[in-house]
Each structure stands twice: as structure tokens, then as C-alpha cells.
Amino acid sequence: MVSGIGSCDFDRMSDINVREQILSLPEHASYSLDIDLGFPVPKTGKVCFFSFGFNTTAPDIVSAHADLFSSRQVPSYSDSRVPGWVDEDTVAVLISYDGSEEDILSVYASLGDRGCTRVCVTSSGPLLEAAGRDSVPVVTVPAGMSARSSTGYVLGILCSIVQEAGVCNAADRLRDEIPSVAAYRDSMLDSPYPRELASEISGNVPAIYGTTDFRAAFRRWKMAINEDTAGRAFYGELPEFDHNELVGWFDSNPHAPELRVVVLKGHTGSDLLDFIVDNMVDILRCEDRPVMTVEMDGADPLDKASCAVILGEMVSSALRMRGGL
């Protein structure tokens, strides 16, 4: 059972450069929302995702969306071990663009031992072969891309799967929000903002922070900067930061002057949380610790985090053009 995007699309995609592929996230998502999954998704009680590296962005976005809008959780794991609760009543979706990581193959086998319903989202490789051998449903994404540039395709597919599973209306929501993500992307293409942010980061080691609804985005910023600049980057979560990390950053740490705090900010739906984030930034600035804040609009991670992912890619690309960190 293989469904997905045909070879004509592959031919088209291979002619587009990688950066354009990455920034085509809204168009890719729109396209993949229309794919017929080709198999019935069980209306089971439990759904979860497994992925590694750049494959994690789309599942993290959908998981964060489910946290806000679903009566069922959809955890996103980057781990080679399967949690104890995963059983025959679970739909486990494995996302691996090239289907070749040892860890995803190990998880695939473990999930089979648990007797759960497996679904693979991939383009090729041993995962595709194993799924074919085991008659496990596969949704393919176009070959000739990379895990990093396939985020949009995977996002649409995962939203369709969770909607089919009866978890939440993620596919409908994504379809509604794609125009605003595309508009944001277009506005940034014409804006000096990404280059200005890159200029501020340049020469520093960024640590990117955000509230949990931004988790896909701050992780993606780190990965993109790692890959584009061969430099280091880190990430962390707010408001947990205020209970420990704030103390470290409050100290001058003169041995590490290159460290730079980057905060992805947006309305969280909690006045308390917004108050805490604003005050955390203010406290650091009062101690002369430079903090770079990046304001994002939107309330739903499908929109807000997708836009932050696109911006992060533009910033990382600008850093690469500058010759790295």
C-alpha cells in the first residue's frame, strides 16, 4: 500500500534549488493535503510520531497543534526506544525522508513487536523496503529532496493522518492557514529582516528559546544553523528558563562572551506566560545581557511555528552567505 506524490513531481522538484524547496513549505503542504492516503487510518485512541533530525519539524508542529486543539495527545519522539504505553491500539507514524537511519529502522522493528499499526512517511531506502515486505502502509514524499526540504510535504501528510484518525481537524486548519504562511514567507523574501537577524547572530553562538508551542521552530533554527554554518547552536524552553538557566545567563560568564540569547515570541494564550517571557527578557537586558527577540504572529503552531521555521531557514541561509557564524 503505497500512496503519495508521483514521479512527475519528482522530476519537477529536482530542478528547483534546495533553498527554494525549503521555502516552498506552504505550497508543498497544500499539495500533500490533497493526497489520498490510500489506506484506512484506524480511529484508535492513540497516535504518536517517531523521527530524527530534520524529519522532526513537521511532527513537532502537529504535536504542538494537538496540544492546543485536541482531546487526544499526539507525542512526537526522537528516540530509539519505544515507550511502554505503545501497544496494538496505537497508530505509530514513522517519518524518515531517506528511510535509512539505523535508529528509525530499530524503532520500526520495535513497533512491529508491539503489534501496533505502523505507517511510514518516506521517499525510499530500507524503511520503504521493509514496509513493502511487511505490507505496512506508506505515504511517499518526492525523491530528490532532503529531510530538511520535505517539511511541507510531511506536514500536510501528518495533518491528514491525525484528522483521519479522528484526533483533531488539523488538515482543515492547515488548509485555512497556508495562505497566511505563504504571505509571511513572501513578505520576508522582500524584507531585510532575516539578514538583520543574521547580522546580529553572526560572530556568536546562539541559544534559541521559545515556549513549548514553538518547539518545532527553535529546534529547527538550531539544526539549520548547525548544518549551514558548521557552527554550534543550542535551544531551550520557556518559561522553564526562568527557574534555572536565567541564573547562568544573569552572570557575566566572561569566559563565553560569544553566547547570544535568541527568543522566539508570540502570543501564547496565557497572560501569565506572556508576562513571564517579557519580564525574563527585561531582566536579562537590565544586566546588559544582549537578547534578540523575534516576534511571531498567529495562535496556532500550524501557522506560527511554520512561519518561524521559514524565518529560521532564511536567517540560517543569510548566515551561510556571510561565511558562517
Partner 1 sequence: MALSTSEQLHAFVDDLGRTLGTDVGYTLDCRDIILCGMGGSAITSDVVADLCSPVSDKQITVVRSPLLPSWVGRGTLAIISSYSGNTAETLEMYRRAMMKGCTVVVLTSGGKLLEMATRDGAHIMTLPEGLHPRHSIGYMIGYTLAIMKAAGCPDMSDEIRSILPSLRDYRGMLEGPMSIARTLASEYLDHVPVICSDSRMRSVVFRWKTQFNENSKYVAFCNQLPEFAYCGLESWKGTDDGNMALTVLKAYGDDPSVDRAIDSLSGSGTVFRVIDLGGSSEMEDMFRAIMLGDFTSIYMAEMRGIDSAEVKPVMLMKERLKGFPQ
Least separation in angstroms between CB 148 and partner 1: 10
User: Closest Cα partner for 41 from 114, 85, 90, 107?
Assistant: 90
Residues making contact with partner 1 (CB under 8 A): 46, 52-54, 66-73, 75, 78-81, 83-85, 87, 101-103, 207, 211-212, 219, 222-223, 226-227, 230-234, 237, 239-240, 242-251, 253, 255-256, 259, 268-273, 275-276, 279-280, 283, 287
Q: Which is nearer to partner 1, 108 or 184 (CB)?
A: 108
Q: What is the DSSP string of 235-261?
A: EEEETGGGGTHHHHHHS--TT-TTEEE
User: Closest Cα partner for 264 from 229, 225, 236?
Assistant: 236
C-alpha cell at 217: 521552530
Least separation in angstroms between CB 291 and partner 1: 13
Q: Which is nearer to partner 1, 45 or 132 (CB)?
A: 45
Distance CA 25, CA 29 (A): 6
Phi-psi sector, 135: left (phi>0), alpha (psi -120 to 50), beta: left
Q: Which is nearer to partner 1, 135 or 244 (CB)?
A: 244
Q: Which is nearer to partner 1, 133 or 255 (CB)?
A: 255
Q: Which is nearer to partner 1, 8 or 272 (CB)?
A: 272
Q: In sequence order, what are the beta bridge partners of 15? A: none
Least separation in angstroms between CB 248 and partner 1: 4
Distance CA 214, CA 298 (A): 11
CB environment 104-122: b (16+ within 10 A), e (fewer):
bbebbebbeebebbbbbbb
Q: Which is nearer to partner 1, 37 or 246 (CB)?
A: 246
Q: Which is nearer to partner 1, 28 or 219 (CB)?
A: 219
Indicate the angle between helix axes 25-33 and 151-164, nearest 10 degrees. 30
Least separation in angstroms between CB 117 and partner 1: 17
Helices (H) and strands (E) in the chain, counts: 13, 10
Could you tell me which residues come within 8 angstroms of residue 221 by beta carbon, excluding any fewer than 6 positions away?
206, 208, 233, 235, 262, 264, 308, 312, 315, 316
Least separation in angstroms between CB 116 and partner 1: 13
Residue appearing with cell numbers 537511519: 101
Least separation in angstroms between CB 306 and partner 1: 19
Least separation in angstroms between CB 108 and partner 1: 14
Residue 32 carries which DSSP code? H
Least separation in angstroms between CB 80 and partner 1: 5
Q: Which is nearer to partner 1, 17 or 244 (CB)?
A: 244
